[in-house]
A = this chain, B = another copy of it.
Amino acid sequence: MADMSIGQAAERSGCTVATVRHYEDEGLLKAIGRASNGRRVYGWPDIHRLRFVRRCRDLGFSIGDVRTLLGAADAPSPDCLAVRDMAVAHIDRLRLMRAEIDTLERSLLSLANTCNEACATGRSPACTIVEDLGATASG
């Protein structure tokens, strides 16, 4: 069950083959073995590491973040506090993103309503949606 191909490693870690190679290029994996024919050989520890990276990326961490997290996880006594701090910092980033999204949604809704009211049955010269899009204000 050990000694998997890159295709199997990709499937079992939830990555694409290209992504697995990319993570290796980025130095996120420990030395990957090669068979005599030159093909990469993966074991379960590699699969777990790939899943870790994949999950961190899904959580929105950058490759650089993951490098740091792996460094913390690889340490003799993992620095959980550093990991928690990165998580907390990332939560703050997510909240900012959500606030921006909320603002954008309100702007777009009022924009769309401009058209809904003026053009209930079709195009109307009274619709100002195009001009509104060009307005200077920031919403």
Contact-size category for A: 35 or more
Q: In chain A, residues 85-107, which have Cβ atoms closer than 8 Å to a Cβ of chain B?
A: 87-88, 90-91, 94-95, 97-98, 101-102, 104-105, 107
Q: How many copies does the complex hold?
A: 2
CA distance A83 to B80 in the complex (A): 49
- For residue A86, give the distance in angstroms from its CB to the closest CB of chain B: 9
Q: Complex Cα distance A96/B107, Å? A: 17
Partner of A80, one of B105, B127, B135: B127
A115 within 8 A of B: yes
Q: How far is the CB of A71 from chain B (nearest CB, A)?
A: 11
Using A84-B129, A97-B101, A104-B60 as known contacts, say yes or no to A52 and B134 having CB atoms under 8 A apart: yes
Q: Are B56 and A122 in contact (CB under 8 A)?
A: no
- CA–CA, A54 and B87, complex, Å: 32
Chain B residues near A94: list those with CB within 8 A.
101, 104-105, 108
* Chain B residues with CB below 8 A from A72, complex form: 130
Given contacts A52-B134, A55-B136, 7 further A-B contacts (CB under 8 A): A51-B134, A55-B138, A59-B107, A73-B130, A81-B119, A91-B105, A94-B104
